Amino acid sequence: MLRRTRGGRSPSSTWAMIGRRLLALPVVLLAVAAFTFFLARVSPRDPVQSYATVQSTVRQQTAEEIAAAWGLNEPPHRQFLSWLGNLLRGDLGNSRLLGGQPVLDEIGARLLPSAVLVGAALLLVLVGGLLAGTAAAAFRDTWVDRAVRTLCYVNLAAPSFWIGLLMIWVFAIQLGWLPPGGMTDPRAVDPPLVDLRHLILPALTLAAAQHAWFTLYVRNTVLSVRQDDYVRFAEASGLGRGTVLFRHALPNALLPFLTLTGAHLAELIGGTVLAETIFGWPGVGQLAVQAALAADLPLLLAITLAGSVLVVLGNLTADVSYRIADPRVREPAL
């Protein structure tokens, strides 16, 4: 007989949920690829002319030969089906922007810098949001709470690119504390993989786009949990504010925080495009901008699919973590 966890839910339901998500992943990727391909087709940018601008001026006959070699003279549906057939064989094509290099090789070379940047920004968001939100809830309606909320509202109103440029102007130009861009010092003979001094400003800029949401969410959730009977009983029992907050209120307030992390992971990954462009960070986000400007469809499609896979897997990880942390959660019937 199958053993059931607290709340009457079978452990197999978690595996069933994972299976459904993984089975739906190909459908999601197909829809994303079709939508991206459609947007590229309706774009006014001509791939051949964009390639000619990057390389050199080409004659009309040469442009027609390039279009024929790339299959651009075929109907759009045939182009998409041809790309889809190559994808099923594990071939994402070659980059037109980067001299015909395999798309997978180019993305693989840029994946680690982007992963380091996103990981650092996510850590800043989680730790900073928890500390600031908890402090605002613990000292509600005091100057601490008002200061945290004011900073969050200003952060929400300020565009990310403006924050990044402001950080460069203050910390790199005026104070000279941090480098304005890049991943390492180009003058170094044997540079490290990632220089932490070069990582600070891009990570702060990327984290700033999501920090306010997390901080306000933690504050409101902790305040809501503090109204529950068991928390009020702990306070009436004479326990200190820190004990009540960290041992009773905060652990239960963190459960919805897991789902929020997965929901905002897509925005965090998408924000790398802006952060990497501002700071010259050689990641996938900067490569996506170059692919879009050059109308490099194979490279753009591959980057879009890779980002979609990461978002789906991130949301799945958050949901599984939520179910593990709180076995009472039930998956709704489909």
**What's the domain count of the chain?**
1
DSSP 204: H
The domain in which residue 136 lies consists of 110-325
Q: What is the pLDDT along the chain (334 residues), one digit of tens a residue?
A: 334 444 444 556 777 777 887 888 888 888 888 887 777 776 666 666 666 555 555 566 666 666 666 666 677 777 777 777 777 777 777 777 666 778 888 888 888 888 889 889 988 988 888 888 888 888 888 898 899 999 988 888 888 888 888 989 999 888 888 888 887 766 666 666 777 888 889 999 988 888 888 888 888 887 877 776 666 766 677 666 666 666 666 666 666 666 677 667 777 888 888 888 888 888 888 888 888 777 777 888 888 888 888 888 877 777 777 676 655 555 444 4
CATH of the domain at 270: 1.10.3720.10
269 occurs within a structural domain: yes
Establish if 275 belongs to a structural domain.
Answer: yes
Residue 54 inside a domain? The answer is no
Question: Is residue 42 one of the residues assigned to a domain?
Answer: no
Domain membership flag for residue 53: no
Q: At what angle do helices 250-270 and 196-225 cross, to 10 degrees?
A: 140
Bridge partners (DSSP) listed for residue 36: none
Asked, for residue 119, whether it belongs to a domain, the answer is: yes
Nearest 5°: CA angle at 13, between 11 and 15?
A: 85
Q: Does residue 210 belong to any structural domain of this protein?
A: yes
Question: How many Å apart are CA 73 and CA 235, to the nearest integer?
Answer: 73
315: closest CA among 33, 89, 20?
A: 20
